[in-house]
Amino acid sequence: MERPRRITDSFPRRRRRGPGRPPGRLKDRKDKDKDKDKTQLKVRDCPRAASQPPPDPALMEMLRRFDLSWEYGPCSGITRLQRWERAQELGLSPPGPIRDALLEHGDNPDVTYRWVWDGVGW
């Protein structure tokens, strides 16, 4: 006899999470075991899609210099694009190529530099 149909059959199926797990990006679960060392720079800890090529070291150097320049304010806790746009609105004229680079590599977490990871960290 086939299984009796339920009302909930019309609802979309979702993957079940464990009871205590906070709602977060599911792709983090694979990488959680890999990085035990949270004290290092968070840039390396963010999960990265395997299909992307590693970003250009000169580009990363330019972005890091953008982070450490004090004129545009604090860099922690916000993405680089948010910091760039904030500097733009305050009239501090941040360099344009940085924004182009950020938009081009927008899906690469090393480039967007979001320091918040799973709600932990700063």
Partner 1 sequence: MFSEQAAPTAQGLLAPPSGEPPTFPRVAAEGYSDLSQPFRLGERSFSRQYAHVYAVRLAGMRPRLERRARGRWGNDIALRRLSELQEGEKCCVVGTLFKAMQLQPSILQEISEEHNLVPQPPLPKYIQPSDELMLEDELQRIKLEGAIDVQRLVTGKGQRWLWWQPPCRGWLGLSACCAAGTIVAVYGCEQEDGRFLVEDHCLADLPPPLPWSGPSSDRFVLLASGLGLGSMSGEALLSTQLLVDVVTGQLGAEGEQSCAAHITRVILAGNLLSQNTQSRDTINKAKYLTKKTQAASVEAVKMLDEILLQLCTSVPVDVMPGEFDPTNYTLPQQPLHRCMLPLASAYATLRLVTNPYQASLDGVRFLGTSGQNISDIFKYSSMDDYLEILEWTLLAGHISPTAPDTLGCYPFYKSDPFILTECPHIYFCGNAPRFQSKLLQGKEGQRVLLVTVPDFSATQTACLVNLRDLSCQPITFFSFGADSED
Residues binding partner 1 (CB under 8 A): 38-40, 67-68, 70-71, 73-78, 82, 85-86, 89-92, 116, 119, 121-122
Strand partners, 120: 117
What does the alpha-carbon distance between residue 86 and residue 73 come to, in Å, rounded to a whole number?
9
Nearer to partner 1, 11 or 70 (CB): 70
Nearer to partner 1, 88 or 108 (CB): 88
Q: How far is the CB of 55 from partner 1 (least distance, A)?
A: 19
Nearer to partner 1, 9 or 89 (CB): 89
Q: How far is the CB of 86 from partner 1 (least distance, A)?
A: 5
The kind and range of the H/E element at 89 are helix 80-89
Helix, coil or strand: residue 92:
coil
What does the alpha-carbon distance between residue 31 and residue 46 come to, in Å, rounded to a whole number?
8
- The residue among 18, 105, 28, 120 whose CA lies nearest residue 60 is 105
Q: How far is the CB of 27 from partner 1 (least distance, A)?
A: 20
